[in-house]
Amino acid sequence: AQANIGVIGLAVMGSNLARNLASREGNSVAIFNRSYQKTETLLAEHPEAEFVASKTYAEFAASLSTPRTALIMVQAGKGTDAVIDELLGVFEPGDIIVDGGNALFTDTIRREKAVRETGINFVGAGISGGEEGALLGPSIMPGGSDESWVTLGPILKSIAAVAEGEPCVTHVGHDGAGHFVKMIHNGIEYADMQLIAEAYDLIRRGTGKTPTEISDIFTEWNKGELESYLIEITAEVLRQMDASTGRPLVDVILDQAGSKGTGVWTVQTALDLGIPVSGIAEAVFARSLSSKPAQREAAASLPGPSSQVAGDDESFIEDVRLALYASKVIAYSQGFDAIVAGAEQYGWNIEKGEIAKIWRGGCIIRARFLNRITEAYAENPGLVALVTAPFFVDVMTKTQDAWRRVVSGAAQSGIPTPAFSSSLAYYDGLRADRLPAALVQGQRDFFGAHTYKRIDKEGTFHTLWSGDRTEIESVGSSH
Ligand code: 6PG
């Protein structure tokens, strides 16, 4: 046995992680791929890396020191189960199998339970940062047992991104906790991307500025409180010109956004948990709407507003920046609500502040203001809504007027801003003194005798709507 860590699946993420591992002091990396050709390519292209290549699972296991640790980087789904089955045949109790793909956390819970019966550890680890992150330092969100973390922790710390001196990895919680948090990360990523896209669209349609000019605006924004990876790459994408047409690349890319499913999972899970993640949901729906060409074509002649709201470009752009900031805070606040609810539902002890910390570097949603989230949870670990932490109250105070101007102006001008608008509606709903949910309860009681509670006394009540309309106290709980 010569290697202390193995990687299975040598597509770009797997290869880059293997190279990252091999580049760190003290690591020797076993590598395996279903077709040996990919292994050979990796060996040939990176003679500098200390790889131990294998052609079979048995050789792979024999090349690893114990406890054996293998990182699976194959396409999430059935492929993962097949690799796990192979490893179970050649690994021993105490060994560790890590799934680094974007697995659905409930699959991870199922797999962990099954693998644990054999005495082998199974860890679902979310890995964010794309190809570059994998090579240079990703943000890593591992779940799994405490026992596995003893071996795995130092290895993952050695390859993770570093933010303010700290590695962007923490033991998130047991079994599926890591993949759950990675799923929420991706949900926030969807919201963040959609919000930035709406900001771009508002400025483009609202001021007529070119993508290059808007790129400069994003570059400027990236120097302030919105500083983040996604703002940075947005500026790059907008600056890119298409070689064949000479037009901005963004104008020749088909405007139909795809997805691989993690955003949908976030929303489905949040629906089950009863957590409004409206910003994320709108981002998912915006991608769905974009990908309906027949409907869009049929609807293209529907009437729009007769005039656009006009105003001063500079103050409008500043309003959009503030609206983006406010909506972004809401997206993170909703994402953290989902983490809290998931942790409660699945029995995970997730440190919210630690999650914000490991998202400061390496991952797609890395951003300057994540430090503020860590601070908010450090000040008050029982914070019931992130947006109510003092720092974020200040942000809302500073941004809300601009946010309202942007959303109402967009509505009047016919520019769709689903994520901006729904985030504002969520914010106003959350802070409302009274909600019309009282009326909804009345309606439910009217047609279905679903009962209601009162603000002035304990108990459950029903009005005899089809009788004399007196109120009776209902036995049994409201439903
Ligand atoms: C990351 C990314 C990564 C990937 C997602 C998004 O954190 O590195 O989230 O996991 O880009 O799969 O994919 P879709 O937009 O295709 O759903």
The ipTM value here is 0.95
Distance CA 187, CA 89 (A): 36
Ligand 1 centre to CA of 186 (Å) is: 6
Show the tokens assigned to 365.
């949603």
Is residue 308 predicted with pLDDT exceeding 70?
yes
pLDDT band at 310, cuts 50/70/90? Answer: confident
Q: Whose CA is nearest to atom 10 of ligand 1?
A: 128
Quote the distance between the C-alpha of residue 461 and its chain's center: 41
Place of tokens 């179970």: 88
Kindly name the residue from 112, 182, 198, 352 that is annotated as catalytic: 182
215-272 per-position pLDDT tens digit: 999 999 999 999 999 999 999 999 999 999 999 999 999 999 999 999 999 999 999 9
- Considering Cα of 360, then 269, then 274, then 328, what sign does the dihedral take? positive
Q: Whose CA is nearest to atom 11 of ligand 1?
A: 130
Is residue 436 predicted with pLDDT exceeding 90?
yes
Q: How many helices (H) and strands (E) does the chain have?
A: 20, 11
Helical pair 390-413 and 370-379, crossing angle rounded to 10 deg = 130
Q: Are 386 and 411 in contact (CB under 8 A)?
A: no
Instruction: Count the Cβ atoms, other than its own, within 10 Å of residue 475.
Output: 7
Q: Whose CA is nearest to atom 7 of ligand 1?
A: 128
Ligand 1 pocket test, pick from 102, 132, 256 with the greatest ligand atom count within 8 Å of Cβ, gives 102
Q: To the nearest whole percent, how much of the chain has pLDDT over 70?
A: 99
Who contacts 29 (Cβ-Cβ below 8 Å, separation ≥6)?
3, 5, 6, 7, 18, 21, 22, 49, 50, 51, 52
- Mean pLDDT within 31-37: 97
Ligand 1 centre to CA of 310 (Å) is: 37
Ligand 1 centre to CA of 261 (Å) is: 9
Show the tokens assigned to 416.
């769709």
129-154 per-position pLDDT tens digit: 999 999 999 999 999 999 999 999 99
Distance CA 462, CA 449 (A): 6
189 lines ligand 1 (CB under 6 A): yes
186 lines ligand 1 (CB under 6 A): yes
108-121 per-position pLDDT tens digit: 999 999 999 999 99
Which pLDDT belongs to residue 311? 85
Ligand 1 centre to CA of 228 (Å) is: 16
- Mean pLDDT within 311-332: 97
- Locate the ligand 1 atom nearest the alpha carbon of residue 186 and give its number: 9
Decide if 182 is catalytic: yes
The backbone torsions φ and ψ at residue 469, rounded to the nearest 5 degrees and listed phi first, read: 65, 25
Q: Are 44 and 67 in contact (CB under 8 A)?
A: no
Residue 303 to residues 206, 295, 307, 409, 413, Cα–Cα distance (Å):
19, 15, 12, 17, 12
Whole-model pTM: value is 0.96
For 124, the 3-state DSSP assignment is strand
Helical pair 278-290 and 262-273, crossing angle rounded to 10 deg = 140
Is residue 477 predicted with pLDDT exceeding 60?
no
Kindly name the residue from 112, 189, 198, 351 that is annotated as catalytic: 189
pLDDT band at 345, cuts 50/70/90? Answer: very high
Binding residues are 9-14, 33-35, 74-76, 102, 128-130, 185-186, 190, 260, 287, 444, 450
Ligand 1 pocket test, pick from 136, 262, 365 with the greatest ligand atom count within 8 Å of Cβ, gives 262
Binding residues for NADP(+) are 9-14, 33-35, 74-76, 102
